[in-house]
Chains A and B, each alone.
Chain A
Amino acid sequence: MISLQKIFGKDDKFFTLLEASAEEGRTSITALNKVLSTPDATPSLDAFHTAKETDKKITDQINEALVTSMVTQLEKEDIEVLSHALYRIPKTVEKFAERFIISAPIVQNVDFARHIALLDAATNQVVALVAMLRTLGAGKIHEAKALNGKLQQIEGDADALQLEMLRDLYSGAHEPIRVIALRDLFELLETVVDRCRDAGNIITHIVLKNS
């Protein structure tokens, strides 16, 4: 990496924005945890919408900075792809929240604790991986691969949980309308973990390229 790039690239700004975007993903999961752990309270979409909108503004700022910056430490395409992947995390969480709110009367008494634990772990890994981007260089790939390995494991666990939930839904023990609503909700939660995995894969690829 030539130092001129570092001088002109204003990399700090990109790293800060990417970290803020990853944090918004985690914020939306915290909001989700609150909603799902208090099933008696009337859920509101505000917290999810705010997290998603804040992330959208961050993504717009990144895109604008990419246009105005001549040189960046990371390749511009990589920054763009990563910022898009990070934005999709709170966006999918908001989608889940919207569906959860409209189907709340049908899906009462469902325990989402295991899903939340996986989502929490996945977003934490994403935040840690994004933080790594500030210190790219030789030897970092092992650290990135270890973090991404954990993320892959979480994604595998989420797939297994999804199958377990579907096995129960398809067992005939539930009303068909409940099956449809819960199937859609479980699929969206699995998609959130997939989005985290996608972000993890992109970051690992960036670290590999720059190691």
Chain B
Amino acid sequence: MFSLQRMLGRPREFFGLLEESAALGAESVAALRNTLQNRTQAPVLDAFVNARRKDKAVINRLEEMLTKVFVTPIEREDLQAVATQLYRLPKTVEKFAERYIIVWEKTKEFDFSLAAHMLESGTKIVVDMVKLLSSGGKLAEIKALDARLSQIESDAGRVILEALRHTYLPNGNTLGKIIAQDLYHILSDCIDVCRSIGRTLALVILKNS
């Protein structure tokens, strides 16, 4: 990274949009954790839709800037890759919420909150990683965050596997188990998205360190 590029490439605007996108992903995940902790009330979709729509607007702004601005603070392909990955988080969380809302009463015997809590921890790390990208963070810092994210992914994988094990037990309500499996798979997708964002960010920061 030569400093002229960073100076001329409107870094505050580009990185600001990525930070905004990461924050909206975190907002969406926080709404999910709240929903899954409070299972006595009917869940609502508004918070998820709002976060995803705002994120879409942010990504559109960034993509438009990418096509108009001559110099960017880091390679435009990297900015595009990070933005695309970040948008997948509120989108996948919204997908979970849409499904959960139509079946929440049928899945009361299944616990999704632990995996959601782990997803939230992962999302916070993503937010920190995007800030590091903006501030030109040190390699050691990004490696430490990436390792924590990897650990969360691995732990969440075990939690979801254990939850799935219960759905394969021969007794009980088969339809409820099918529905729960679908929801666990989408939660697993959310964790995977979080991990992919982290991996993309780590590579981009590594390239530019």
Question: How many B residues are at the interface, by size bracket?
Answer: 10 to 19
Contacts of B67 in A (CB 8 A): 205, 208-209
Known: A205-B67, A208-B64, A209-B67. A172 touches B175 (CB 8 A): yes
Q: Chain A, 138-182, contact with B by CB distance < 8 Å: what is the 0/1 string?
A: 000000000000000000000100010011001010001001100
| Cα distance A167–B105 in the bound complex, in angstroms | 12
What 3 pairs across the A-B complex have the smallest Cβ distances? A176-B174, A167-B102, A208-B67
Chain A residues with Cβ under 8 A from B106's Cβ? Answer: 170, 172
B134-191 with Cβ < 8 A to chain A: 174-175, 178-179, 182
Number of A-B contacts (CB under 8 A): 28
Residues A185-211 near B (CB distance < 8 A): 205, 208-209
| Contact of A84 with B by CB under 8 A | no
Which listed residue, B102, B174, B175, B179, touches A163 by the CB 8 Å rule? B102
Bound CA span A28–B15, Å: 42
Q: Are A166 and B99 in contact (CB under 8 A)?
A: yes
- The residue of chain B having its C-beta at the shortest distance from the C-beta of A159 within the complex is B98
Kindly list chain B residues whose C-beta atoms are within 8 Å of the C-beta of A166. Answer: 99, 102
| A44, chain B: closest CB distance, angstroms | 30
B63 CB-CB contact with A under 8 Å: yes
Does A183 belong to the interface (CB within 8 Å)?
yes
A172 to B98, CA, bound (A): 18
CA distance A209 to B182 in the complex (A): 39
The dominant DSSP class at the A interface is: helix
CA distance in complex: A163, B106 (Å)? 16
Q: Please, which residues of chain A bring their CB within 8 A of the CB of B1? A: none
Q: Which residue of B lies closest to A209 (CB)?
A: B67
Q: Which residues of A contact B175 (CB under 8 A)?
A: 170, 172, 176, 179
Point out the residues of chain A lying under 8 angstroms from B103, CB to CB.
Answer: 170
Q: What separation, in Å, do the CA atoms of A208 and B66 have in the docked complex?
A: 10
The answer to whether A183 touches B182 (Cβ under 8 A) is yes
Give the contacting residue for B102; candidates A159, A170, A176, A209; CB below 8 A.
A170
Interface positions of A from 13 to 70, Cβ below 8 Å from B: none
- Give the shortest distance, in Å, between A114 (CB) and chain B (any CB): 18
Q: Please list 19 pairs of residues, one from A and one from B, whose beta carbons are closer than 8 Å in the complex, sorted by A's number.
A: A159-B98, A163-B98, A163-B102, A166-B99, A167-B102, A170-B103, A170-B106, A170-B175, A170-B179, A172-B106, A176-B174, A176-B178, A179-B175, A183-B182, A205-B63, A205-B67, A208-B63, A208-B67, A209-B67
Q: Which chain A residues border B182 with CB–CB below 8 Å? A: 183
Q: What does the 1/0 interface line of B72-106 toward A look like (CB < 8 Å)?
A: 00000000000000000000000000110011001
8 more A-B contacts (CB under 8 A) besides A163-B98, A176-B175, A205-B67? A163-B102, A170-B179, A176-B174, A179-B178, A180-B178, A183-B178, A183-B182, A205-B63
